[in-house]
Structure 1
Amino acid sequence: DSMLAMAENVSQDTHGKFEAGKGTFLLNGKPFVVKAAELHYPRIPQEYWEHRIKMSKALGMNTICLYTFWNAHEPKENQFDFTGQNNLREFIRLCQKNDMKVILRPGPYVCAEWEMGGLPWWLLKKKDIRLRENDPYFLERVDKFQKAVAAQVADLTIADGGPIIMVQVENEYGSYGEDKKYVSNIRDMLRKNFGDNVTLFQCDWSSNFEKNGLDDLIWTMNFGTGANIDDQFRRLKELRPESPLMCSEFWSGWFDKWGANHETRPAADMIAGIDEMLSKNISFSLYMTHGGTNWGHWAGANSPGYAPDVTSYDYDAPINEQGAPTPKYWELRKALEKYTDGKQFPVPASIKTIDIKPFAFSKVAPIFSNLPEPKSDVNIRTMEEYDQGFGSIIYQTTLPELANGGFLTVNDPHDYAQVFVDGKYIGTLDRRNGEKQLSLPPCKRGARLDIFVEAMGRINFGRAIKDFKGITDNVTVTEDRNGYHFTCELKNWKVYNIEDEYECYKSYSYAPIESVSPDSTGRLPRGVYVGTFNINKPADTFLSFEKWGKGLVYVNGHGIGRIWEIGPQQTLYVPGTWLKKGENEVLVFDIMGPKEAVSFGSKTPELDKLLVKKPLTHREPGQELDLEGSKPVVSSSLTPGNGWKEISFGTPATGRYVCLEAVNSHDGKDRAAIAEMYLLDNNNERISREPWVVMYADSEDVEGVNRSADKTFDLQESTYWSTKKKDKFPHFIVIDLGKEHTLTGLQCLPRMESNAPSAIKDIKVYVSSVPFKF
Structure 2
Amino acid sequence: MRFLFGLLPAALLLGSPAPAPTPAHTFALGPNQFLLDGQPLQLISGELHYPRIPREAWRARLRMAKAMGLNTIGTYVFWNVHEPQPGHYDFTGNNDVAAFVKMAQEEGLWVILRPSPYVCAEWEFGGYPYWLQNVPGLKVRSQEPQYIAAYTRYLQAVGKQLAPLQVNHGGPVLMVQVENEYGSYGADKQYLAQNKQLFINAGFDGLLYTCDPAPDVAAGHLPGLLPAVNGLDKPREVRKIVQANHDGQGPYYIAEWYPAWFDWWGAPHHTVPAAQYVAPLDSVLKAGLSINMYMFHGGTTRGFLNGANYKGPTTDYEPQVSSYDYDAPLDEAGNATAKFRAFREVIAKYRPAGAPALPPVPAAKPSVALPALQLTRTASLLGRLPAPVASPQPLTFEKLKQAYGFVLYRTTVAGGGEKLLKIRDLRDYAVVMVNGRRVGTLDRRLRQDSLRLALPAGKAVQLDILVENLGRINYGKYLLQNTKGITQSVTLGGQALTGWQQFGLPFDQAPAVAKSTGAAPAATGGPVLRTASFTVASPADTYLDMRQWGKGVVWVNGHNLGRYWAIGPQQTVYVPAEWLRKGPNEVTVLELLKPQQATLASLDHPILSELQPVSK
| TM-score, length basis structure 1 | 0.73
2:221–2:245 contact (8 Å) kept in structure 1: no
Task: Give me the identity figure in percent.
Answer: 38
Corresponding residue number in structure 2 for 1:334? 345
Query: Structure 2: which amino acid aligns with 1:463?
Result: K
Corresponding residue number in structure 1 for 2:7? none
Number of residues of Structure 1 aligned to a counterpart in Structure 2: 590
Corresponding residue number in structure 1 for 2:372? 358
List gaps (5 residues or longer) in structure 2.
1-10, 12-16
Does 1:252 find its partner at 2:267?
no
Corresponding residue number in structure 2 for 1:163? 172
Corresponding residue number in structure 1 for 2:244? 238
- Structure 1 residues 215 and 239: alpha-carbon distance in aligned structure 2, compared to 1, 3 A threshold: closer
List gaps (5 residues or longer) in structure 1.
479-486, 615-774
Correspondences of 1:610-649 after superposition (within 5 Å): 610-613=611-614
Q: Distance in 2 between matches of 1:228 and 1:158?
A: 30
Does 1:451 find its partner at 2:465?
yes
Q: Distance in 2 between matches of 1:77 and 1:130?
A: 16
- Structure 1 residues 9 and 368: alpha-carbon distance in aligned structure 2, compared to 1, 3 A threshold: same
1:547–1:597 contact (8 Å) kept in structure 2: no
Query: Structure 2: which amino acid aligns with 1:99?
Result: G
Superimposed CA distance per residue, residues 153-193 of structure 1 (whole angstroms, 9 cap, x where no aligned partner): 21111111111110000101112222222221111111112
The worse-fitting range, judged by mean Cα deviation, of 392-401 and 308-317 is: 392-401
Q: Distance in 2 between matches of 1:413 and 1:346?
A: 52
Deviation (angstroms), 1:55: 0.5
Q: Distance in 1 between matches of 2:191 and 2:60?
A: 38
2:234–2:284 contact (8 Å) kept in structure 1: no
Query: Structure 1: which amino acid aligns with 2:231?
Result: F
Does 1:474 find its partner at 2:478?
no
2:437–2:526 contact (8 Å) kept in structure 1: no
Deviation (angstroms), 1:320: 0.7
Deviation (angstroms), 1:351: 2.5
The worse-fitting range, judged by mean Cα deviation, of 34-43 and 176-185 is: 176-185
Does 1:133 find its partner at 2:142?
yes
Corresponding residue number in structure 2 for 1:511? 516
Higher relative contact order (CA 8 A, sep 6+): 2
2:543–2:575 contact (8 Å) kept in structure 1: yes
- Structure 1 residues 400 and 50: alpha-carbon distance in aligned structure 2, compared to 1, 3 A threshold: same
Corresponding residue number in structure 2 for 1:528? 529
Q: Distance in 1 between matches of 2:76 and 2:471?
A: 18
1:370–1:509 contact (8 Å) kept in structure 2: no
Does 1:390 find its partner at 2:404?
yes
Q: Distance in 2 between matches of 1:28 and 1:232?
A: 25
- Structure 1 residues 257 and 195: alpha-carbon distance in aligned structure 2, compared to 1, 3 A threshold: closer
Superimposed CA distance per residue, residues 622-669 of structure 1 (whole angstroms, 9 cap, x where no aligned partner): xxxxxxxxxxxxxxxxxxxxxxxxxxxxxxxxxxxxxxxxxxxxxxxx
Bigger share in strand: 1
Deviation (angstroms), 1:194: 2.5
Q: Distance in 1 between matches of 2:204 and 2:260?
A: 36
Deviation (angstroms), 1:218: 0.5
2:159–2:204 contact (8 Å) kept in structure 1: no
- Structure 1 residues 603 and 509: alpha-carbon distance in aligned structure 2, compared to 1, 3 A threshold: closer
2:119–2:126 contact (8 Å) kept in structure 1: yes
Deviation (angstroms), 1:233: 4.6
1:395–1:495 contact (8 Å) kept in structure 2: yes
Match 1:113 to one of 102, 105, 122: 122
Deviation (angstroms), 1:149: 1.2
Deviation (angstroms), 1:236: 2.9
- Structure 1 residues 44 and 9: alpha-carbon distance in aligned structure 2, compared to 1, 3 A threshold: farther
Match 1:81 to one of 81, 90, 96: 90
Corresponding residue number in structure 2 for 1:172? 181
Corresponding residue number in structure 2 for 1:688? none
Q: Distance in 1 between matches of 2:517 and 2:442?
A: 31
Corresponding residue number in structure 2 for 1:377? 391
Corresponding residue number in structure 1 for 2:112? 103
Corresponding residue number in structure 1 for 2:14? none
Deviation (angstroms), 1:129: 2.0
1:39–1:289 contact (8 Å) kept in structure 2: yes
Corresponding residue number in structure 1 for 2:8? none
Superimposed CA distance per residue, residues 703-753 of structure 1 (whole angstroms, 9 cap, x where no aligned partner): xxxxxxxxxxxxxxxxxxxxxxxxxxxxxxxxxxxxxxxxxxxxxxxxxxx
Does 1:462 find its partner at 2:476?
yes
Please, what is the CA RMSD of the aligned residues?
Answer: 2.1
Q: Which runs of 4+ in 1 moved over 4 A?
A: 8-11, 400-403, 442-445
Query: Structure 2: which amino acid aligns with 1:547?
Result: Q
Correspondences of 1:327-726 after superposition (within 5 Å): 327-341=338-352, 343-400=357-414, 403=417, 405-441=418-454, 445-466=459-480, 467-478=482-493, 487-502=494-509, 505-506=511-512, 510-511=515-516, 516=520, 518-519=522-523, 525-613=526-614
1:221–1:233 contact (8 Å) kept in structure 2: no
Deviation (angstroms), 1:498: 1.4
Query: Structure 1: which amino acid aligns with 2:230?
Result: N
Corresponding residue SS for 1:167 = strand
Q: Distance in 2 between matches of 1:371 and 1:176?
A: 41
Superimposed CA distance per residue, residues 585-604 of structure 1 (whole angstroms, 9 cap, x where no aligned partner): 00111122345211123221
- Structure 1 residues 160 and 125: alpha-carbon distance in aligned structure 2, compared to 1, 3 A threshold: same
Superimposed CA distance per residue, residues 490-549 of structure 1 (whole angstroms, 9 cap, x where no aligned partner): 11112211122335x22x674179x73535xxx964111101221111111111122211
1:362–1:512 contact (8 Å) kept in structure 2: no
2:552–2:591 contact (8 Å) kept in structure 1: yes
Deviation (angstroms), 1:15: 2.1
Corresponding residue SS for 1:235 = helix
Q: Distance in 2 between matches of 1:9 and 1:564?
A: 55
